[in-house]
Structure 1
């Protein structure tokens, strides 16, 4: 019919456009602006009246269908927070989406409600420091990731070419956030603002990624973040932090009375928590000081009320704990965060799995303080050779008690031992949820320290060489186990960071070339996919291994 509207080819064949869209998003090549325009044409609605001519205005006036009395309120509103920075709105929207889709789960490891993925982006709309923190971590991650840069260094992501995104832009966001946080931290009212605490937590992630690249982390820029975080935590988190998202538990899982009685009656076992040849081997008897007696574990000991504390503040506090463990392990210093707030996480009563994972993180922090001194007591220079023997023994017994009472859900959904002859250097260790992998990984990190600082190892004389050889074998097993957790649970990047920390501390103990190659390949994958700086450690290991 003359004058009839002729649909464009894209409208006539939506399947072809859909396929092109999918092909582009899965392509390893950086799309050009021309390609992007061809795949996503600007579709114009047909002219004339009817439903196709409906549009929604961004003004306050209601929209009206042509020749109709029907009116609609506008669906699109102007942002609540005005932004005078002049940065392109689309770039900022991309940075927020990148954070939500790729970075938020770094923080939500032990949070089933995913506050950093769901609450924080919404809060950021009305909090400039929080928004700048998101911009900073997303910009830095995109700029550093080789997967999102072409040969000329231009950043791209999901079909969006971002030539304006570079290191200078990331530094701009970073400096703006720091300036605002420092200024607001002097305000007695703002120090209670949980949005600022979340901003400081997110911003410290950038410092955490660079912790190995700067020797002055504890005296320079890193100390700024620590001071900010502790100022907000001291003002917002109670002296004893409540459990995170606690809810009634009605099933005991592995907390049955028979299991607890059996663990209590097992009797003394070997001194080491487990042997490197048999994961889950016999454990030493748990100490009554760390494990509640059988007759005290009753229904009344199960938490039945949800904590009334601010859940975002709680989530921030537990993220800060994990960040401190990473920094303390790498820098070989005590935990600076006040662990007195974690008293409730030293119990072994039945609770939800993510709370169990945080118990394991706090256990790792306690072991760090044993080895490097406790900031709570003011003793930060305890010589390693003079570690408290009784304290070490109690912590090892606590390791045993945790393993004896933790829920069966912490067992891997699949496990397959490594097979070096078949080229499988790392075991397969699959976990159902991120908090299961997080908890077990922190137990492994704690066991590295307990093994190295074992006060019963002979220092000199007959038996020293054999003891050191056995110690190194156990350390290599733990490192490979952490690497297996990382590779088997790749969708949770912090598992890879745990493996990286272990490799950095114990990598020189590996003498088998096949294992060395596997460790270097893992470090390269961590840097390439997660933008975590592992190259310097890899180079140091190569140099060390050439001397073995």
Structure 2
């Protein structure tokens, strides 16, 4: 019930018990007397139902008073226009006046109080000014009046969906005076919201993470930080914080073979005007912060003050996983929006679709095949290519989101849609005799690297067929008429020499992985007595290569190509630092480590050399038997085994030495399958422990899941 002023006299006249003329801003009696008028206090009271209202909202009040939390107000998008009565800074003597929203019109009511804590005054209600950037709406299903689910694991305060970027006029701020209490975070939530947050209506407050009246209360500063973090969902500061975290930490992971830094530099710029890219960046960054428990390594000086965009309040206590899930939903929804025909309503099940399915459906449409002209300089055609790049960037980021905590056996399945997606792009570019643009190229080489690493775990053929030379050449490498790689072709301007050589190595390792897949298939065929199955449509490989058994000539050709690649790389692939017998400084006796320590000045070269040794080890351990030229005596065979063992040991030491050199995070996250392969070749317990420490160090430092590889290695060692 709205209140009315109980007394209109100024404070001086009220104390003297004389009639006040109520002149504004200062009464005439005070002015005539030559004293300063103390002003008018608008104390309000309920006309009726006062006791009823107090009883209704009594459970929401704190058991103890709190002092002021400061005079800072927080800005986020607002949705409801409040009348002048609600917008005035009113205060009561002994009771709080809650902010009411009728449930039948505005969804769940927000009956939240915070005792006497205030952001604007010492005893007034909490004042929150909500403004935000204009962008497209992205509501979670089950919300009303565009309410979005708060993404903090702490007591929840529902935030309007405009905080995620709903289009609105941001020129004028809208003010909401809403007392908020951390003890009432889940009251008034819908059943969908309770289920989404993993809460139950039957759960006691203690199990919901809500402090009970008898439990010890946290400090006022911690309570304020929790609420402040919850209200930051989708706000300008949070998006800026997550985008900067992506640019500094995650973007370089995807630019291993791109000196122009597409994912680090260009993608965040494209995110300014593309919601799906913006939310995909936020989703990946938030999930990564959840994996590292909110701890952000300092990238600047250690003793200087950090920038505002480097700091997030109470970052180690935020439920980053829930924030990441919200942003992932928004990115997938917007991706589906911008790829739909404009007449089909986007289903909430779009979040369950693979991003490759969404982008591939758009690329296969007749309109896209007609309008996508990669060789044209027309502004409209260039804009269409830019849209394609942004869609692929979103798909890449959402894929990294899924792979961040996935088991290695699941990588191959997660990438099942990349071949038809790029086949549609290849059809358009082949007609125009054009190469992939910068953004398409950058996405392709990331997918190709993840493709063969994921295929190695399951010994499956890669999704990208290495025999499809047109695809790889359109992506930027040079393959001559003899099907041989030109390591550093003359006149190539698409890549630096290092990028060109590393991308060529990706193609070679993909050929090795397919060789291993065929070897596995031939072994199964020998055991079962049936010929290997032909499935070129399923795996994108030619029938001739799929049906033929791997033979010695193929093995020798691959070995020769690897040696040719190594002989043709620039001098930058040599390590700048190498310690052959480093000391283990963690031990008091300073014993020597069994591996060298190797450091490369260029991150690209460090990654390439690890993958080169990985490819050579895979070939050494999978040489097919050759009856015609096989050694005739047992001693010759034993000598051959010893030579293989010696070379495998050497290359395993090189791989571990590169890992011990602690290269950039982009190298470390992609060396998990390599360390897993090397770990199966090593024998001593000390070497085993170093492999385990290296794998677990990747998860501890970078948040990339490695425990599944550790468990598989330990199981194989214990056999």
TM over 0.5: yes
Distance 1:229 1:483, change over 3 A: farther
In the alignment, is the contact (CA less than 8 A) between 1:415 and 1:427 conserved in 2? Answer: yes
Distance in 2, matches of 1:418 and 1:120, equals: 42
Distance 1:508 1:404, change over 3 A: closer
In the alignment, is the contact (CA less than 8 A) between 1:451 and 1:471 conserved in 2? Answer: yes
Aligned counterpart in structure 2 of residue 477 of structure 1, from 645, 650, 665:
650
Distance 1:544 1:323, change over 3 A: closer
User: Partner of 1:112: helix, strand, or coil?
Assistant: coil
* CA apart distance, 1:426: 2.9
Distance 1:454 1:141, change over 3 A: same
Distance in 1, matches of 2:136 and 2:646, equals: 59
Distance in 1, matches of 2:632 and 2:277, equals: 55
Distance in 2, matches of 1:240 and 1:422, equals: 62
* CA apart distance, 1:81: 3.2
User: Partner of 1:160: helix, strand, or coil?
Assistant: coil
Distance 1:498 1:471, change over 3 A: farther
In the alignment, is the contact (CA less than 8 A) between 2:242 and 2:286 conserved in 1? Answer: yes
User: Partner of 1:337: helix, strand, or coil?
Assistant: coil
Answer yes or no: is 1:118 the counterpart of 2:281.
no
Segments of structure 2 that go 5 or more residues without pairing to the other structure are: 1-68, 73-130, 139-160, 164-232, 297-308, 340-358, 373-387, 479-484, 519-538, 584-589
In the alignment, is the contact (CA less than 8 A) between 2:419 and 2:464 conserved in 1? Answer: no
Distance 1:88 1:180, change over 3 A: closer
User: Partner of 1:429: helix, strand, or coil?
Assistant: strand
In the alignment, is the contact (CA less than 8 A) between 2:611 and 2:674 conserved in 1? Answer: no
TM-score w.r.t. the length of structure 2 is: 0.50
* CA apart distance, 1:520: 1.2
* CA apart distance, 1:137: 1.4
Distance 1:317 1:227, change over 3 A: closer
Q: Which residue of 2 aligns with 1:500?
A: 672
Aligned counterpart in structure 1 of residue 567 of structure 2, from 401, 404, 416:
404
Q: Which residue of 1 aligns with 2:392?
A: 197
Distance 1:380 1:239, change over 3 A: farther
User: Over aligned residue pairs, what C-alpha RMSD do you find?
Assistant: 3.6
Question: Larger relative contact order (C-alpha < 8 A, sep ≥ 6)?
Answer: 1
In the alignment, is the contact (CA less than 8 A) between 2:244 and 2:310 conserved in 1? Answer: no
Distance in 2, matches of 1:209 and 1:379, equals: 36
Distance in 2, matches of 1:116 and 1:92, equals: 17
In the alignment, is the contact (CA less than 8 A) between 2:257 and 2:499 conserved in 1? Answer: yes
Answer yes or no: is 1:368 the counterpart of 2:513.
yes
User: Partner of 2:623: helix, strand, or coil?
Assistant: coil
Distance in 2, matches of 1:446 and 1:210, equals: 25
Q: Which residue of 1 aligns with 2:596?
A: 427
Distance in 1, matches of 2:442 and 2:433, equals: 11
Distance 1:230 1:177, change over 3 A: farther
Aligned counterpart in structure 2 of residue 93 of structure 1, from 236, 240, 243:
240
Question: In the TM superposition, what whole-angstrom CA distance separates every residue of 1:120-156 from its partner, at most 9, and x where no partner exists?
Answer: 011112222222221221111111114629xxxxxx9
Question: In the TM superposition, what whole-angstrom CA distance separates every residue of 1:196-226 from its partner, at most 9, and x where no partner exists?
Answer: 011111221233334526x55545x543x53
* CA apart distance, 1:241: 9.8
Aligned counterpart in structure 1 of residue 552 of structure 2, from 380, 386, 389:
389
In the alignment, is the contact (CA less than 8 A) between 2:276 and 2:334 conserved in 1? Answer: yes
* CA apart distance, 1:417: 2.3
Q: Which residue of 2 aligns with 1:230?
A: 422
Aligned counterpart in structure 1 of residue 450 of structure 2, from 305, 316, 323:
323
* CA apart distance, 1:455: 2.1
In the alignment, is the contact (CA less than 8 A) between 1:334 and 1:368 conserved in 2? Answer: yes
Of structures 1 and 2, the larger Rg is shown by: 2
Map 1:66-105 to 2 at 5 A. 79=133, 81-84=135-138, 85=161, 86=163, 87-89=233-235, 90-105=237-252
Aligned counterpart in structure 2 of residue 313 of structure 1, from 437, 440, 453:
440
In the alignment, is the contact (CA less than 8 A) between 1:372 and 1:382 conserved in 2? Answer: no
* CA apart distance, 1:157: 7.2
In the alignment, is the contact (CA less than 8 A) between 1:237 and 1:317 conserved in 2? Answer: no
Answer yes or no: is 1:342 the counterpart of 2:472.
yes
Distance in 1, matches of 2:420 and 2:329, equals: 14
Answer yes or no: is 1:522 the counterpart of 2:670.
no
In the alignment, is the contact (CA less than 8 A) between 1:441 and 1:485 conserved in 2? Answer: yes
Distance in 2, matches of 1:147 and 1:238, equals: 46
Distance 1:396 1:434, change over 3 A: same
Distance in 1, matches of 2:621 and 2:634, equals: 19
User: Partner of 2:578: helix, strand, or coil?
Assistant: strand
Answer yes or no: is 1:131 the counterpart of 2:258.
no
In the alignment, is the contact (CA less than 8 A) between 1:524 and 1:534 conserved in 2? Answer: yes
Moved more, 103-112 or 91-100: 91-100
In the alignment, is the contact (CA less than 8 A) between 1:147 and 1:528 conserved in 2? Answer: no
Higher helix share: 1
* CA apart distance, 1:228: 7.5
Distance in 2, matches of 1:507 and 1:117, equals: 32
Map 1:210-225 to 2 at 5 A. 210-212=405-407, 215=409, 218-219=412-413, 221-223=414-416
User: Partner of 2:593: helix, strand, or coil?
Assistant: coil
Distance in 2, matches of 1:380 and 1:205, equals: 31
Distance 1:222 1:314, change over 3 A: closer
In the alignment, is the contact (CA less than 8 A) between 1:99 and 1:134 conserved in 2? Answer: yes
User: Partner of 2:258: helix, strand, or coil?
Assistant: coil
Q: Which residue of 2 aligns with 1:354?
A: 499
Distance in 1, matches of 2:440 and 2:329, equals: 24
Distance in 2, matches of 1:438 and 1:481, equals: 12
Distance 1:478 1:114, change over 3 A: same
* CA apart distance, 1:117: 1.0
Question: In the TM superposition, what whole-angstrom CA distance separates every residue of 1:235-277 from its partner, at most 9, and x where no partner exists?
Answer: 66658998xxxxxxxxxxxxxxxxxxxxxxxxxxxxxxxxxxx
Aligned counterpart in structure 2 of residue 207 of structure 1, from 387, 398, 402:
402
Segments of structure 1 that go 5 or more residues without pairing to the other structure are: 1-36, 43-76, 150-155, 243-306
Distance in 1, matches of 2:425 and 2:638, equals: 47
Distance in 2, matches of 1:316 and 1:140, equals: 21
Q: Which residue of 2 aligns with 1:377?
A: 542
